[in-house]
Amino acid sequence: MIGKTLGGRYEIIEELGSGGMAIVYKGLDASLGRPVTIKILRPEYTTDYGFVRRFQREARAIASLSHPNIVSLYDVGQDGNIHYLVMEYVHGDNLKAIITREGPLAPARAIHIVCQICEALTHAHENNIVHRDVKPHNILITREGWAKLSDFGIARDVTGTTLTYTDSFIGSVHYLSPEQARGQLADPRSDLYSLGVVLYEMLTGSVPYQGDNLIAVALKHIQDEPEPPSKLNGRITAQLEGVILRAIAKDPSRRFQSGRELSLCLREALSKSKGEPAENGAFENTATGLLEPLLEGEEKEEPDIAVIKKRKIRSLSVLIGSLVLIFVLAGAAFAFNKFYFNVPEVQVPNVVNKSQKEAENTLKNLGLRVQVVKEHNDDIAEGYVIAQDIGPDDPKVKPPRRIKLTVSLGKDLREVPDLYKLTLLDAKVRAARAGLKISEPVQEGYNDNVTEGCIYQQYPTAGAEKPAGSFITVYVSQGKNLARARVPSLIGLTIEQAGEELKKINLKLDESFQWANYDSPDYLSGQIISQEPKAGSDVTENTAVKVVVSRGPGPLPTEVQVKIPVPDDGQNHEVRISLKDIRGTRDVYVSPQASGDEVNKVVRFYGRGIIRVYIDGSLVKEKTYD
């Protein structure tokens, strides 16, 4: 791009920097011979309607403002596929670079800069413009010390009548107000919060909230309290600290309600600070109350003779200029009378719902001029007139009066992007770029092919066309749909026994089991005394169960003698003795017995024991021993 001339007038000289949406160049206005700043929309976004609209929005925002502390807009244009803005070139550096280079600034200097930006924001807010991206990168400091606010690329009209707003996450997160971090609408107090963060950084050298990622920083703006700036810079007085903390209060109602209110409190804090002189020859302007720099070489008074000479020359110039103006006005009055008052008035016909060509021909045949603006409309077909600023119900007009026609571009249809396998955050960004939104709350479901947390299905499908602002329903994967199992009780089992039990239901034992750090009087060494998940928990297959194993010594053994008479009926019978204690349930005696025999068996158990006697499979005796 270096060396290219845009619009036959603006020559690109060198690149100054770049952002996410545009590249900024230093240029030369060949017509006026002055340096300018040229902001060019990145080539990859020239076909993206959303980015072009944001770029045009910045032009409208700056064009509606005129203030010495706001970078001026000179021109807006398009050269082929190149969209560009031509703005005032500021000789100096941005505030972020100054803070990085010099570290914390003196309170007087910092307040001087912030008060100027307060004036800029006040002017913008009074014109219903919210900047929404106030940060030191967008504050330019001239060589003389003046501050200028730039980059209205994501500005929003408070009334919502000319500029649009999307719910996408916009702005630099370290300077983002809590309400913006929550996705809520920004208002003038949001800009003052961001400016408060800038002031905090100017005085301490660091922003109040930092984190490992953007989401973490945004959450801190919502939840955390900042470290008092006086702990980072001892030159910050208690009153100045109070102003800073009020500016960055989380509740907008507790902040300053206007830039002028913040400026006033800052100047009051500065005037009450002890031993803090203004820097760099700054003086206080009695008209505004702001600290202003004294330009190098500027004289406070001129000699009387020089003043007199200047006044004489000025008077002569005024006289000559007045005569020229009289002649010009006389000629203009003559021409105006001839070409305007002698032209008969005409009634403007109704051309709404007519094609653009038919409407233009109708109006031009009456000697009227036509201005056409185009916008999308869901009800009027493309190429047909939606509205006109002057119509048959208005008074007659004199040709060649210009009639403004609003012509339909048809429905504002957007192509639905492919969101398959994207995270929800990435999907929201891609949908916002297409002028669409993600429906909330999102749907969830299991999917074997898509990673947990990513989208596996969407409606409408990718490639479909939907009106701008339409919602896309997405389905977020919860991972593979694994079978479920209920965890059995492993208490009292050995490691080997527990492993076998879990294997039966497709669960497994965590091999890194732990030994208990205390002696257990209830369980023998090697028995499981606790488990996680608990018995009865519903888990997915292949879940590993953690266990803690007793190191003993456990209870002392108890022995009892069991006597069982066998029925005397001339037949053989099977006798079985079953024992349940802390080691589990098991058979301690199983044997066939002749008719009329008596079984006499000593049974040993640990802890509480339950002995059951079965003859030919039928329970004939049960006794519990504690």
Give catalytic residue positions.
Answer: 133
CA distance 433 to 426: 11
Report the distance separating Cα 269 and Cα 199, nearest Å: 14
Amino acid making up residue 295: L
Q: How does strand 156-157 pair with strand 283-284? A: unpaired
Orientation angle between helical segments 107-126 and 259-272, nearest 10 degrees: 160
CB 172 within 8 A of CB 138: no
Nearest to 152 by CA among 177, 173, 170, 178: 170
> What does the block give as tokens for 429?
């960004």
The amino acid that residue 42 corresponds to is R
Written as one string, the DSSP assignment of 212-253 is SSHHHHHHHHHHPPPPPGGGT-TTS-HHHHHHHHHHT-SSGG
Q: Are 61 and 163 in contact (CB under 8 A)?
A: yes
Nearest Cα to Cα of residue 85 among 151, 31, 160: 151
Residue 106's CB is within 10 A of a number of other CB atoms, namely: 18
* Burial degree of 279 (CB within 10 A; 0-12, 13-18, 19+): middle
Rounded Cα distance between 231 and 246, Å, is 17
How many of the other CB atoms lie within 10 Å of CB of 395? 8
Strands 573-581, 538-540: pairing kind: unpaired
Query: Which residues share a beta bridge with 472?
Result: 438
Nearest C-alpha neighbor of 522 from the set 499, 553, 562? 553
Q: How far is CA 274 from the centre of its chain?
A: 41
Alpha-carbon torsion (330, 331, 335, 336), positive or negative: negative
HSE-CB at 484 with a 13 A cutoff on CA atoms is: 5
What the block records as the tokens of 488 is 């059995």
Of 253, 258, 259, 199, whose CA–CA distance to 226 is shortest? 199
Residues 6 or more apart whose CB falls under 8 angstroms from that of 532 comprise 545, 546, 547
Contacts of 559 (CB under 8 A, 6+ apart): 602, 603, 604
Answer for the pair 351, 385: CB distance below 8 angstroms, yes or no: yes
Backbone angles phi, psi at 183, to 5 degrees: 85, 15
What would the DSSP string read from start to end of 372-412? EEEE--SSSPTTBEEEESS-TTSPPB-TT-EEEEEEE----
Compute the residue count for the chain.
Answer: 626
Q: At 272, which helix (H) or strand (E)?
A: helix 259-272
